Amino acid sequence: MTSHRLQRWAIILMAYQYVVKYRKTTEHGNADALSRLPLGYDKNFDDEEARYNVRELYTPINAEIICRHAENDKVLKRVCSYVQRGWPEKLSPQDADLRPFFNHRFALTIKSNLPCLQTEYNRVIIPASLCGQILRLLHDGHWGVTKMKQLARRNIWWVNMDKDIVEMCSNCDICKVVNPAPARQYESWPDTNRPWERVHIDSAGPVFNSMWLICVDAFSQFPFIVQMTTTTTVHTISALSCGCG
């Protein structure tokens, strides 16, 4: 369950022989200078900084709200009951809605009355009635699919969460614009009004031990084909010149 980044660091460190030594905090002034700056208490600086601190933060969704919705969620109530009493060896066909939780049964737990999924992080299981609101909070800022999944996988989980994230981003015009690899849109060639207004050219082969230069008129679909020994630029220009002549 270790993240790929930590695995790569572990592989890099395996190439070295090193000794870990303890160093006191007072001797760590050269590291993390902003947090370990070896200066005394500065009351004026702290008072000035305190003016910009957030005194009260309104949280749209907190643990109390999640607990209240979880109590009204029939599926989560059954899941919590199984977590506390133990899961059966098999699920009946009538319990198909519990299958995703059954597949993660060894990683499910309850903390502070909240059902959680323990993976690399302790993730709160979101009731179905709050999934839409949580999804909108994740989408705020238009981070894109990858960033939204990273944020979600650190804190929360629900069934088909990744699918819902992909669907929301695919329907968002802003996410499509800022996406480093936006979805490709294909369009047909514009119609032509007369012969030789647009010509499509390509090389084919080897066929019958030869290469073939194929030109097709977009208006009449008339083909012009030349047998060639090679498809270099010089030979291609020569074939086109002879054909035009």
What digits encode the pLDDT tens for the residues 16-31? Answer: 888 888 888 777 666 6
What digits encode the pLDDT tens for the residues 143-174? Answer: 888 888 998 998 999 999 999 999 998 888 88
Average pLDDT over residues 83-94: 89
Q: Rounded to two decimals, what is the model's pTM?
A: 0.50
Average pLDDT over residues 33-42: 65
The pLDDT of residue 31: 66
The kind and range of the H/E element at 215 are strand 210-217
Q: What is the CATH number of domain 63-178?
A: 1.10.340.70
Q: Do 228 and 211 meet the contact criterion of CB atoms below 8 Å apart?
A: yes
What digits encode the pLDDT tens for the residues 209-218? Answer: 888 889 999 9
Residue 139 has pLDDT above 50, yes or no: yes
End-to-end CA distance of the chain: give it in Å, rounded: 69
What digits encode the pLDDT tens for the residues 102-119? Answer: 999 999 999 888 899 988
Delimit the domains of the chain by residue range.
Answer: 63-178, 199-244
Q: Do 154 and 37 meet the contact criterion of CB atoms below 8 Å apart?
A: no
Find all residues with CB under 8 Å of 76, minimum gap 6, and list them: 70, 115, 125, 127
Average pLDDT, the chain: 83
Q: Do 156 and 123 meet the contact criterion of CB atoms below 8 Å apart?
A: yes
